[in-house]
Amino acid sequence: MATKSTRKKKMVAKIKCNEKLDYLRQHHPDAIVLDPRELDDAITGINIVTGQIVYDYKMLIECFMRMGFTEEQSIEVIETKAIGMLPYIVEQAPIIMETIEV
């Protein structure tokens, strides 16, 4: 028998990219989402314990670059405007994760 956590993971995996935000808003209305909406493509999941939205660091860079930023500018914006502000935001602040490749 599948656990609640396993069922929830399967549901999230089936969600199309353009439906991610709707799903997250419906099931985790207190979660904080980064602006602008172009960054939604970098959402990779949700912390099922805390309800925090999880963004992929490299995907955030790619999103900013699609908006016309250079790679260096993208990194600077993410590190100063997003990561730099996270300690000052409430508990539902987004998580920005970096994939470890070994």
**How high is the pLDDT of residue 55?**
95
Domain housing 29: 4-97
Residue 82, domain member (yes or no): yes
**Which one-letter amino acid corresponds to residue 91?**
E
Report the number of distinct structural domains present in the chain.
1
Residue 61, domain member (yes or no): yes
Residue 88, domain member (yes or no): yes
Dump pLDDT digits (tens) for 10-52: 455 445 555 777 887 788 888 888 888 889 899 998 888 888 8
Q: Quote the pTM value.
A: 0.75
> End-to-end CA distance of the chain, in Å?
34
Residue 102, domain member (yes or no): no
CA–CA dist 43, 93 (Å, integer): 13
Dump pLDDT digits (tens) for 61-88: 999 999 999 999 999 999 888 877 776 7
**How high is the pLDDT of residue 28?**
82
